[in-house]
Amino acid sequence: MIKLFACDLDGTLLNDDHEFDGIIFNAIDAVIKEGKYFSFATGRHMHAQQIKILKYEKRDVFMVCMNGALILDPSQNIIYDRKMDKKIVKDLLETFPEIDFDCIGKDHVFIRANRQEHLDQFSRSSIWNRAANKWKIEDFIKDSIFDQSIDDILSHDIYKINCRLSDAKTIEKMNCYLDQHKDEIVNAPYDNGAFEITGKDVNKGNAVAWLCEYLHLQEDEVAVYGDGGNDIEMLERFKHSYGMSNGMESAKKAANEIIGCCKDYAVSKHILETLQKEEDNK
Protein backbone atom coordinates (compact mmCIF):
# COMPACT_ATOMS: atom_id res chain seq x y z
CA MET A 1 0.00 0.00 0.00
CA ILE A 2 1.29 3.45 -0.94
CA LYS A 3 1.44 5.83 2.02
CA LEU A 4 3.60 8.61 0.56
CA PHE A 5 3.33 10.16 -2.91
CA ALA A 6 6.38 12.25 -3.90
CA CYS A 7 6.13 14.24 -7.13
CA ASP A 8 8.41 16.42 -9.17
CA LEU A 9 6.68 19.62 -10.28
CA ASP A 10 7.63 21.00 -13.71
CA GLY A 11 7.02 18.51 -16.47
CA THR A 12 5.44 16.08 -14.01
CA LEU A 13 2.72 17.23 -11.61
CA LEU A 14 2.07 20.79 -12.82
CA ASN A 15 -0.14 21.62 -15.78
CA ASP A 16 1.04 22.83 -19.16
CA ASP A 17 1.34 26.38 -17.80
CA HIS A 18 3.65 25.18 -15.00
CA GLU A 19 0.97 25.93 -12.42
CA PHE A 20 -1.29 24.15 -9.96
CA ASP A 21 -4.99 23.95 -10.73
CA GLY A 22 -8.18 22.29 -9.53
CA ILE A 23 -7.43 18.90 -11.07
CA ILE A 24 -4.06 18.71 -9.34
CA PHE A 25 -5.43 19.93 -6.01
CA ASN A 26 -8.17 17.31 -6.24
CA ALA A 27 -5.55 14.55 -6.37
CA ILE A 28 -3.54 16.04 -3.51
CA ASP A 29 -6.66 16.44 -1.38
CA ALA A 30 -7.65 12.83 -2.07
CA VAL A 31 -4.29 11.64 -0.74
CA ILE A 32 -4.60 13.73 2.41
CA LYS A 33 -8.24 12.68 2.95
CA GLU A 34 -7.10 9.04 2.96
CA GLY A 35 -4.66 9.82 5.77
CA LYS A 36 -1.64 9.44 3.52
CA TYR A 37 1.26 11.82 2.88
CA PHE A 38 2.03 14.01 -0.12
CA SER A 39 5.35 15.66 -0.91
CA PHE A 40 6.69 17.78 -3.72
CA ALA A 41 10.16 16.75 -4.86
CA THR A 42 11.45 19.64 -6.89
CA GLY A 43 14.54 21.49 -7.96
CA ARG A 44 12.70 24.72 -7.18
CA HIS A 45 13.48 26.57 -3.96
CA MET A 46 9.79 27.17 -3.18
CA HIS A 47 10.28 30.66 -1.77
CA ALA A 48 7.09 32.59 -1.06
CA GLN A 49 7.12 34.47 -4.37
CA GLN A 50 7.65 31.29 -6.36
CA ILE A 51 4.75 29.61 -4.58
CA LYS A 52 2.59 32.57 -5.58
CA ILE A 53 3.66 32.30 -9.23
CA LEU A 54 2.79 28.59 -9.22
CA LYS A 55 -0.72 29.45 -7.96
CA TYR A 56 -0.21 27.05 -5.11
CA GLU A 57 -2.93 27.02 -2.46
CA LYS A 58 -1.68 25.79 0.89
CA ARG A 59 -2.14 22.12 1.67
CA ASP A 60 -0.69 19.87 4.38
CA VAL A 61 2.14 18.65 2.20
CA PHE A 62 5.87 18.23 2.64
CA MET A 63 8.28 19.98 0.29
CA VAL A 64 11.52 18.41 -0.83
CA CYS A 65 13.19 21.47 -2.34
CA MET A 66 16.35 22.30 -4.30
CA ASN A 67 16.88 18.74 -5.50
CA GLY A 68 16.82 17.43 -1.95
CA ALA A 69 19.00 19.98 -0.18
CA LEU A 70 16.06 21.09 1.98
CA ILE A 71 12.86 19.51 3.27
CA LEU A 72 10.03 21.58 4.75
CA ASP A 73 7.17 20.16 6.79
CA PRO A 74 3.54 21.23 6.15
CA SER A 75 4.09 24.25 8.42
CA GLN A 76 7.12 25.31 6.34
CA ASN A 77 9.59 24.39 9.10
CA ILE A 78 12.95 22.98 8.05
CA ILE A 79 13.18 19.33 9.07
CA TYR A 80 16.19 18.40 6.93
CA ASP A 81 18.91 20.41 5.24
CA ARG A 82 22.21 19.93 3.47
CA LYS A 83 24.00 23.25 3.10
CA MET A 84 26.83 23.72 0.63
CA ASP A 85 30.31 24.01 2.11
CA LYS A 86 31.22 27.69 2.06
CA LYS A 87 34.75 26.91 0.89
CA ILE A 88 33.48 25.34 -2.32
CA VAL A 89 30.93 28.15 -2.81
CA LYS A 90 33.76 30.70 -2.54
CA ASP A 91 35.98 28.73 -4.91
CA LEU A 92 33.21 28.32 -7.47
CA LEU A 93 32.42 32.03 -7.47
CA GLU A 94 36.07 33.01 -7.73
CA THR A 95 36.76 30.50 -10.52
CA PHE A 96 33.86 31.74 -12.65
CA PRO A 97 33.60 35.54 -12.12
CA GLU A 98 31.88 35.88 -15.49
CA ILE A 99 28.90 33.66 -14.67
CA ASP A 100 25.62 35.10 -13.40
CA PHE A 101 25.02 32.49 -10.67
CA ASP A 102 21.87 32.19 -8.58
CA CYS A 103 23.10 31.39 -5.07
CA ILE A 104 20.01 30.11 -3.31
CA GLY A 105 19.31 30.35 0.40
CA LYS A 106 16.20 29.39 2.34
CA ASP A 107 14.28 32.60 1.62
CA HIS A 108 16.31 34.57 -0.92
CA VAL A 109 18.46 34.23 -4.02
CA PHE A 110 21.79 36.08 -3.86
CA ILE A 111 23.25 37.38 -7.13
CA ARG A 112 26.53 39.16 -7.88
CA ALA A 113 25.21 40.99 -10.95
CA ASN A 114 23.18 44.16 -10.65
CA ARG A 115 19.47 44.04 -11.28
CA GLN A 116 19.59 45.26 -14.90
CA GLU A 117 22.42 42.90 -15.86
CA HIS A 118 20.49 40.00 -14.43
CA LEU A 119 17.28 41.05 -16.19
CA ASP A 120 19.14 41.25 -19.49
CA GLN A 121 20.67 37.81 -18.97
CA PHE A 122 17.36 36.30 -17.90
CA SER A 123 15.46 37.77 -20.84
CA ARG A 124 17.84 35.98 -23.22
CA SER A 125 17.37 32.58 -21.59
CA SER A 126 15.32 29.79 -23.13
CA ILE A 127 13.42 29.47 -19.86
CA TRP A 128 12.14 33.01 -20.21
CA ASN A 129 11.35 32.56 -23.90
CA ARG A 130 9.04 29.68 -22.96
CA ALA A 131 7.36 31.66 -20.18
CA ALA A 132 7.29 35.13 -21.73
CA ASN A 133 3.60 35.08 -22.56
CA LYS A 134 2.62 34.03 -19.06
CA TRP A 135 4.60 36.02 -16.52
CA LYS A 136 6.62 39.17 -16.04
CA ILE A 137 10.34 38.78 -15.50
CA GLU A 138 10.03 40.84 -12.33
CA ASP A 139 7.82 38.14 -10.81
CA PHE A 140 10.74 35.74 -10.89
CA ILE A 141 13.20 38.01 -9.12
CA LYS A 142 11.22 39.48 -6.24
CA ASP A 143 13.07 37.21 -3.81
CA SER A 144 16.47 38.09 -5.33
CA ILE A 145 19.09 40.34 -3.75
CA PHE A 146 21.53 41.89 -6.24
CA ASP A 147 25.00 43.47 -6.18
CA GLN A 148 26.24 40.88 -3.74
CA SER A 149 29.93 40.46 -3.10
CA ILE A 150 31.36 37.02 -2.47
CA ASP A 151 31.58 37.88 1.23
CA ASP A 152 27.93 38.97 1.18
CA ILE A 153 26.92 35.64 -0.31
CA LEU A 154 29.07 33.65 2.11
CA SER A 155 27.37 35.35 5.06
CA HIS A 156 24.29 33.24 4.23
CA ASP A 157 23.63 29.51 4.12
CA ILE A 158 23.61 28.46 0.48
CA TYR A 159 21.82 25.25 -0.47
CA LYS A 160 22.01 25.31 -4.26
CA ILE A 161 23.69 27.26 -7.06
CA ASN A 162 22.04 27.55 -10.46
CA CYS A 163 23.17 28.85 -13.81
CA ARG A 164 22.41 28.27 -17.46
CA LEU A 165 25.26 28.46 -19.98
CA SER A 166 25.37 28.65 -23.76
CA ASP A 167 29.05 29.31 -24.51
CA ALA A 168 30.73 26.00 -25.37
CA LYS A 169 34.09 26.91 -23.80
CA THR A 170 32.48 27.97 -20.52
CA ILE A 171 30.37 24.80 -20.45
CA GLU A 172 33.49 22.70 -20.98
CA LYS A 173 35.31 24.58 -18.22
CA MET A 174 32.37 24.13 -15.86
CA ASN A 175 32.10 20.41 -16.57
CA CYS A 176 35.82 20.02 -15.96
CA TYR A 177 35.50 21.89 -12.66
CA LEU A 178 32.60 19.72 -11.56
CA ASP A 179 34.55 16.58 -12.39
CA GLN A 180 37.54 17.82 -10.40
CA HIS A 181 35.31 18.54 -7.39
CA LYS A 182 32.98 15.54 -7.57
CA ASP A 183 33.89 14.64 -3.98
CA GLU A 184 32.43 17.98 -2.82
CA ILE A 185 29.58 18.91 -5.13
CA VAL A 186 27.14 17.38 -7.58
CA ASN A 187 25.33 18.74 -10.61
CA ALA A 188 21.82 17.37 -11.23
CA PRO A 189 20.17 19.53 -13.91
CA TYR A 190 16.54 19.12 -14.85
CA ASP A 191 17.39 19.77 -18.49
CA ASN A 192 20.31 19.90 -20.90
CA GLY A 193 22.34 23.12 -20.70
CA ALA A 194 21.36 23.86 -17.11
CA PHE A 195 23.56 23.53 -14.04
CA GLU A 196 22.02 22.84 -10.63
CA ILE A 197 24.84 22.45 -8.14
CA THR A 198 24.44 21.19 -4.59
CA GLY A 199 26.59 19.52 -1.96
CA LYS A 200 27.82 15.97 -2.42
CA ASP A 201 25.22 13.21 -1.97
CA VAL A 202 22.32 15.69 -2.28
CA ASN A 203 19.63 14.26 -4.53
CA LYS A 204 15.90 13.69 -4.48
CA GLY A 205 16.33 9.97 -3.90
CA ASN A 206 18.25 10.43 -0.66
CA ALA A 207 15.92 13.18 0.51
CA VAL A 208 12.69 11.24 -0.14
CA ALA A 209 14.25 8.20 1.56
CA TRP A 210 15.02 10.38 4.59
CA LEU A 211 11.43 11.68 4.60
CA CYS A 212 10.18 8.10 4.37
CA GLU A 213 12.19 7.20 7.49
CA TYR A 214 11.02 10.38 9.24
CA LEU A 215 7.41 9.31 8.65
CA HIS A 216 8.17 5.73 9.79
CA LEU A 217 7.41 4.26 6.38
CA GLN A 218 9.04 1.54 4.32
CA GLU A 219 10.47 2.48 0.94
CA ASP A 220 8.05 0.15 -0.84
CA GLU A 221 5.24 2.29 0.60
CA VAL A 222 6.39 5.27 -1.48
CA ALA A 223 5.40 6.22 -5.04
CA VAL A 224 7.62 8.72 -6.86
CA TYR A 225 7.05 10.61 -10.11
CA GLY A 226 9.52 12.52 -12.28
CA ASP A 227 10.58 13.54 -15.76
CA GLY A 228 14.03 15.16 -15.62
CA GLY A 229 17.70 14.60 -14.99
CA ASN A 230 17.35 15.66 -11.37
CA ASP A 231 14.77 12.89 -10.82
CA ILE A 232 16.96 9.98 -11.86
CA GLU A 233 18.22 8.95 -8.40
CA MET A 234 14.69 9.10 -7.03
CA LEU A 235 13.25 7.08 -9.90
CA GLU A 236 16.00 4.48 -9.63
CA ARG A 237 15.77 4.09 -5.88
CA PHE A 238 12.09 3.39 -5.35
CA LYS A 239 10.18 0.31 -6.48
CA HIS A 240 7.07 2.32 -7.32
CA SER A 241 8.62 4.88 -9.67
CA TYR A 242 6.76 6.48 -12.55
CA GLY A 243 8.20 8.49 -15.42
CA MET A 244 6.49 10.83 -17.82
CA SER A 245 6.22 10.17 -21.55
CA ASN A 246 7.31 13.80 -22.07
CA GLY A 247 10.40 13.28 -19.92
CA MET A 248 14.10 12.97 -20.70
CA GLU A 249 15.19 9.58 -21.99
CA SER A 250 17.48 9.11 -18.99
CA ALA A 251 14.58 9.69 -16.60
CA LYS A 252 12.28 7.35 -18.50
CA LYS A 253 14.96 4.68 -18.43
CA ALA A 254 15.31 5.09 -14.65
CA ALA A 255 11.58 4.74 -13.97
CA ASN A 256 9.89 1.38 -13.55
CA GLU A 257 6.83 2.49 -15.51
CA ILE A 258 5.86 5.30 -17.91
CA ILE A 259 2.39 6.67 -17.20
CA GLY A 260 1.71 9.43 -19.74
CA CYS A 261 2.19 13.15 -20.35
CA CYS A 262 2.01 16.01 -17.87
CA LYS A 263 -0.27 17.89 -20.28
CA ASP A 264 -2.85 15.16 -19.76
CA TYR A 265 -2.59 15.25 -15.94
CA ALA A 266 -1.07 11.76 -15.97
CA VAL A 267 0.22 12.02 -12.39
CA SER A 268 -3.05 13.25 -10.91
CA LYS A 269 -4.94 10.50 -12.73
CA HIS A 270 -2.46 7.84 -11.64
CA ILE A 271 -2.66 8.92 -8.00
CA LEU A 272 -6.45 8.73 -8.00
CA GLU A 273 -6.36 5.35 -9.74
CA THR A 274 -3.87 4.06 -7.16
CA LEU A 275 -6.05 5.22 -4.28
CA GLN A 276 -9.10 3.60 -5.85
CA LYS A 277 -7.30 0.28 -6.43
CA GLU A 278 -6.16 0.22 -2.83
CA GLU A 279 -9.68 0.99 -1.62
CA ASP A 280 -11.07 -1.82 -3.79
CA ASN A 281 -8.51 -4.27 -2.39
CA LYS A 282 -9.35 -3.58 1.24
pLDDT digits (tens, 9 = 90+) for 117-166: 888 776 666 554 554 444 566 777 889 999 999 999 999 999 999 998 88
User: Where is the domain boundary, 155, 174, 199?
Assistant: 199
38 and 31 Cβ atoms separated by less than 8 Å: yes
One domain for residues 92 and 42? no
One domain for residues 90 and 172? yes
User: Where is the domain boundary, 199, 229, 264?
Assistant: 199
Work out the average pLDDT over 49-61: 93
Question: pLDDT tier at 116 (50, 70, 90 boundaries)?
Answer: confident
Work out the average pLDDT over 93-110: 96
* Beta-bridge partner residues of 64: 41, 71
One domain for residues 136 and 48? no
One domain for residues 94 and 194? yes
CATH of residue 114's domain is 3.30.1240.10
Percent share of the chain, pLDDT over 90: 83
One domain for residues 208 and 75? yes
One domain for residues 193 and 217? no
One domain for residues 62 and 44? yes
pLDDT value of residue 133: 46
Q: How far is CA 8 from the centre of its chain?
A: 7
pLDDT of 213 higher than 90: yes
pLDDT value of residue 191: 73
Question: pLDDT tier at 5 (50, 70, 90 boundaries)?
Answer: very high
Domain count, the chain: 2
User: Where is the domain boundary, 171, 199, 227?
Assistant: 199
pLDDT of 102 higher than 70: yes
Contacts of 37 (CB under 8 A, 6+ apart): 3, 4, 5, 31, 61, 62, 215, 217
One domain for residues 191 and 115? yes
pLDDT value of residue 136: 64
In the chain, what is the straight-line distance between the N-terminal and C-terminal CA atoms, in Å? 10
159 and 66 Cβ atoms separated by less than 8 Å: yes
pLDDT value of residue 125: 61
In the chain, alpha helices (H): 22-33, 48-53, 86-95, 115-123, 126-131, 137-140, 150-154, 168-180, 204-214, 232-237, 249-254, 266-280
Rounded-to-integer distance, Cα 4 and Cα 18, Å: 23
Answer with the residue of higher pLDDT: 60 or 138.
Answer: 60
Ramachandran sector of residue 142 (left: φ over 0; alpha: ψ -120 to 50; beta: rest): alpha
pLDDT of 180 higher than 70: yes
CATH of residue 230's domain is 3.40.50.1000
CA distances from 229 to 3, 43, 178, 192, 193 (A): 25, 10, 16, 8, 11
One domain for residues 108 and 174? yes
Question: pLDDT tier at 282 (50, 70, 90 boundaries)?
Answer: confident
The rounded mean pLDDT for the chain is 93
One domain for residues 9 and 144? no
Handedness of CA 109, 111, 117, 120 (dihedral sign): negative
pLDDT of 26 higher than 50: yes
Is this prediction's pTM over 0.75?
Answer: yes
pLDDT value of residue 119: 80
Q: In 3D, which of 201, 177, 207 has the Cα closest to residue 188?
A: 201
One domain for residues 112 and 189? yes
Q: In what order do the strands lie in the sheet with 144-145?
A: 144-145, 109-110, 102-104, 160-164, 194-199, 185-187
Domain of residue 117 covers: 86-199
One domain for residues 234 and 147? no
Handedness of CA 202, 61, 76, 210 (dihedral sign): negative
Work out the average pLDDT over 40-45: 96
